[in-house]
């Protein structure tokens, strides 16, 4: 059994199952120009690449709802 720094046995941390946990990984190829643009946005907004891409996907989904519903 693993022990913590004080010599006591480690307790398992129960993680709550949350439907909003982000656990899916998507890999994609983008151009150098697209990568530079995303990096610029992340620097200027202090947000992660994942946050920027998630927001872009959400925007695209909102603007294409009619196409998805047909």
pLDDT for the residue 35: 95
**pLDDT tens-digit map of 11-69:** 665 555 666 778 889 999 999 999 999 999 999 999 999 999 999 999 988 888 776 66
pLDDT for the residue 62: 87
Q: Is the pTM of this model over 0.95?
A: no
Scan for tokens 């398992």, then name that residue.
12
- What is the mean pLDDT of the segment spanning 4-17? 61
Neighbour-count burial for 29-51, b at 16+ CB within 10 Å, e otherwise: eeeeeeeeeeeebbeeeeeeeee
pLDDT for the residue 61: 87
pLDDT for the residue 3: 57
């Amino acid at each position: 059994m693993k022990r913590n720094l004080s010599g006591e046995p480690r307790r398992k941390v129960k993680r709550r199952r949350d439907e909003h946990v982000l656990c899916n990984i998507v890999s994609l190829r983008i151009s150098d120009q697209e990568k530079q643009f995303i990096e610029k946005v992340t620097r200027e907004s202090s947000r992660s690449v994942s946050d920027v891409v998630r927001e872009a996907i959400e925007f695209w989904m909102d603007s294409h709802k009619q196409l998805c519903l047909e």
